[in-house]
Amino acid sequence: MTTLQLSSANPQLKHLMKTLQRNDRSRARRVALVAVIMAALVGTTACGSTMRLLHGTGAKRPEATEFGLGPRVSANRLYVATLETATELRTRRLQTVRLGIVDADGRAVEGAILAIDGGMPEHGHGLPTRPRMTRVLGAGAYEVEGVRFNMGGWWELKVTITSERGADIVTFNLSL
Amino acid sequence: MRNAANRFVVLSLLLLLGVTVAATTPAADGWSPAQLDELRSLSLGALEPVPADPTNRVADDPRAARLGERLFFDARLSSDGKVACGTCHQPDRDFQDGIALARGVGVTDRRTMPIAATSRSPFLFWDGRKDSLWAQALGPLESPVEHGGTRAQYARVIAEHYRSEYEEVFGPLPDLAAGVEAVTRVFVNLGKAIAAYERRIEFGPSRFDRYVDAIGNRMPTDGRLSDDEVAGLRLFVGKGNCTQCHNGPLLTNNEFHNTGVPRRTGVPIDDGRFAGAAAVLADEFNCRSRWSDAPQHCAELDYLVSDGHQLQRAYKVPSLRNVAGRAPYMNAGQFATLAQVLDHYNRAPAAPAGHSELQPLRLKARELKQLEAFLHSLTGPTIVNGLAGPAR
């Protein structure tokens, strides 16, 4: 490697440094451009179908952090509900789930009645079955049978909880 | 500086080589691990064993299946002595007949459905008006345009021609002169024997399944699927949105959807699942009926959606296995070719009644051809498991 003894006073060096800085800037611009194109391409392929479906119903898929089995707070903050499944939720089969329900102070909610609804907001259709609360397990736990998802994608499972504390609704966003 | 530059060039070349090798390695064929998981979920390798049917206690009795096979092909079970189940459900044609509207002693309003793997479907017929294979088998027997006969006539056929086989499976044949109860019991058992046979009718592997096996095991895929078929598969699991309904190893979610299929002129108004859901709840032979062997365990009926807008003109999603050999398509054979079906899904016209769940796909003509090519790769044998001799 050739070693150059250069000082900052050297005008040639100043010129070289400016050229390098210009190159750095243009490289940065190129990198940024490539990144933008890549992001656009990824967006087109990964989200194309979602966007098309969004066009159909206007439904907006929630953030990833809004998905999962909970705990989820009800709309009016009366309850906090957690979904429990014996095995991972799967498509095309009838499944039984459990719901654990506590109030805003964390106390188990007894004597509640649950009503289940839901569907695919992006497709504009409801659940393919009509699940029902079938057992009261005690300590704020309830069993719901007859849950089925007939395709992959974003599903909402809406649980209306009615107890002496009042009626409120918890929405679970599930990704199948 | 030059050494550093050389190192950069060498590293870049190695990286490029690595990317190239990764992208072209025959085992992966360009599929990501997540995509490969999805492909596996669509292949026969993911198919679970035939589920138990507690409503039919002879469902897995080989003697019942052998009796059922003979009954399936017996034209004495019809008003004119010319129509058997196998008249429309022809074994050499994937157990269907290749015509738009099925013809028994008359002409029906619907397309004959294939039978393979229907043991896994909670509801049978295009509108799901039956909830077991045995209850399904009884429907056409009493339809005036299909077999056209009566349960009393069929019970007599059993008594005269199948007494010993029947009694071996079901016990003593009741005295048919005793009345409708005895006749119906024999009629129901006839259906249960046919169901025991039909449960054994399954799909064999297609070229698509062999392709998924190959990429899953990192084996060469040469010749298993053409470039167009692979491109069609990418569309099938991608922007074609096909797997929204055609998912799982049978390529059906076994549900009912309105996809805006046009009415067939010349047949009565057809509401699809809207009428079918009500019919199955009221069916004389449903899971909860006194003829069922497990009337306490009817989860499918317990959680059935029996009303609502989404049932209007919703029809059963058929399996796509062997679809290329099964024209014409849809519930009344409205489309003559796969190309017409794909054009329909691409345009997504409004439904004649109810609300179509489709959105326009806007696929190009070449992409539609590729999808059609892929559908041809789903062709495989139909097999009858565990009975001596091939299906007739």
Give how far A50 is from chain B: nearest CA, Å.
9
- Report residue A43 as tokens: 């967006």
The closest CB to that of A131, out of B3, B303, B308, belongs to B303
Q: What is the pLDDT of residue A20?
A: 44
Q: Tell me which residue of A147, A166, A90, A150 sits closest to A158, measured CA to CA.
A: A147
Q: What is the pLDDT of residue B220?
A: 84
Residues of chain B short of pLDDT 50, as ranges, are 1, 19-27, 390-392
Residues spanned by the domain of B43: 31-50+204-384
The closest CB to that of A146, out of B253, B299, B361, belongs to B299
Range scoring the smallest mean pLDDT among A41-45, A118-122, B120-124, B290-294: A41-45
Average pLDDT for A97-123: 95
- pLDDT surpassing 50 at residue A79: yes
Q: Length of chain B, please?
A: 392
Range scoring the smallest mean pLDDT among A35-49, A65-79, B196-210, B298-312: A35-49
Chain B residue nearest residue A44, CA to CA: B239
Give how far B355 is from chain A: nearest CA, Å.
10
- Report residue B20 as tokens: 């190239």
Cβ-defined contact of A56 to B359 (cutoff 8 Å): yes
**What does the domain layout of chain A look like in residue ranges?**
8-58, 65-175
Q: What is the pLDDT of residue A17?
A: 45
| Helix orientation angle between B227-237 and B33-42, rounded to the nearest 10 degrees | 90
Cβ-defined contact of A94 to B357 (cutoff 8 Å): no
Chain A residue nearest residue B5, CA to CA: A1
Examine the fold and report which residue of B203, B221, B252 is the final residue of a domain before the chain moves on: B203
pTM of the model: 0.83
Identify the band that residue A123 occupies on the pLDDT scale cut at 50, 70 and 90: confident
B153 domain residue, yes or no: yes
Whether residue B103 sits in one domain with residue B66: yes
B19 domain residue, yes or no: no
Average pLDDT for A125-134: 94
Cβ-defined contact of A49 to B238 (cutoff 8 Å): yes
| Distance from C-alpha of B373 to C-alpha of B204, rounded to nearest angstrom | 19
DSSP per-residue codes, B99-166: SSS-BSSSB-SSPPPP-TTGGG-SSBSTT--BSSHHHHHHHHHH-TTTT---HHHHHHHHHHHSHHHH
B217 touches chain A (CB under 8 A): no
List all residues of chain B from 225 to 264 with a beta carbon under 8 Å from chain A: 238-239, 241, 243-245, 247-248, 253-255
B85 domain residue, yes or no: yes
- pLDDT surpassing 80 at residue A24: no
B142 touches chain A (CB under 8 A): no
Q: What is the pLDDT of residue B309?
A: 87
Please name every residue paired with A158 in a beta bridge, in sequence order, or none if there are none.
Answer: A117, A171
| Distance from C-alpha of A31 to C-alpha of B306, rounded to nearest angstrom | 57
The closest CB to that of B3, out of A1, A52, A92, belongs to A1
Examine the fold and report which residue of B177, B203, B229 is the final residue of a domain before the chain moves on: B203
B375 domain residue, yes or no: yes
Count up the domains in chain B and report the number.
2
| Distance from C-alpha of A38 to C-alpha of A7, rounded to nearest angstrom | 41
Element holding A57 (H helix, E strand): helix A11-57
Q: What is the CATH number of domain A65-175?
A: 2.60.40.1930
B234 domain residue, yes or no: yes
Give how far B305 is from chain A: nearest CA, Å.
5
Whether residue B229 sits in one domain with residue B164: no
B21 domain residue, yes or no: no
Instruction: Give the angle subtended at the CA of B324 by the CAs of B323 and B330, to the nearest 5°.
Output: 50
Q: pLDDT tens, B166-214? A: 999 999 999 999 999 999 999 999 999 999 999 999 999 999 999 999 9
Q: What is the pLDDT of residue B368?
A: 98
Q: What is the pLDDT of residue B105?
A: 97
Cβ-defined contact of A151 to B248 (cutoff 8 Å): no
Examine the fold and report which residue of B185, B203, B221 is the final residue of a domain before the chain moves on: B203
User: Can you give the CATH number for the domain in which B349 is found?
Assistant: 1.10.760.10
Q: pLDDT tens, A80-93? A: 999 999 989 999 99
**Interface residue of A16, A54, A96, A130 to substitute, partner B, most B CBs within 10 Å:** A130
Whether residue B176 sits in one domain with residue B147: yes
Q: What backbone phi and psi angles, to 5 degrees, belong to B220? A: -60, 145
Q: Higher model confidence: residue B219 or residue A132?
A: A132
Cβ-defined contact of A148 to B303 (cutoff 8 Å): yes
- Report residue B362 as tokens: 């806007």
Q: Higher model confidence: residue B379 or residue A49?
A: B379
Q: A141-147 and A166-175 as β-strands: parallel, antiparallel, unpaired?
A: unpaired
| Distance from C-alpha of B106 to C-alpha of B365, rounded to nearest angstrom | 40
Whether residue B261 sits in one domain with residue B174: no
Chain A residue nearest residue B2, CA to CA: A1
B129 domain residue, yes or no: yes
Q: What is the pLDDT of residue B273?
A: 97
Neighboring chain A residues of B7 at a CB cutoff of 8 Å: none
Cβ-defined contact of B300 to A55 (cutoff 8 Å): no
Share the mean pLDDT of chain A.
79
Helix residue ranges, H only, chain B: 2-24, 33-42, 62-72, 85-88, 133-142, 151-161, 163-170, 180-198, 207-216, 227-237, 273-282, 299-302, 338-347, 365-376
The three state secondary structure string of A122-158 is: CCCEECCECCEEEEEEECCEEEEEEECECCCCEEEEE
The closest CB to that of B302, out of A124, A128, A146, belongs to A146
B30 touches chain A (CB under 8 A): no
Whether residue B189 sits in one domain with residue B281: no
B390 domain residue, yes or no: no
Residues of A near B (CB-CB distance < 8 A)? 1-2, 45, 48-49, 52-53, 55-56, 91-92, 94, 123-132, 145-146, 148, 150-153
End-to-end alpha carbon distance in chain A: 58
Residue with tokens 């990418």: B234
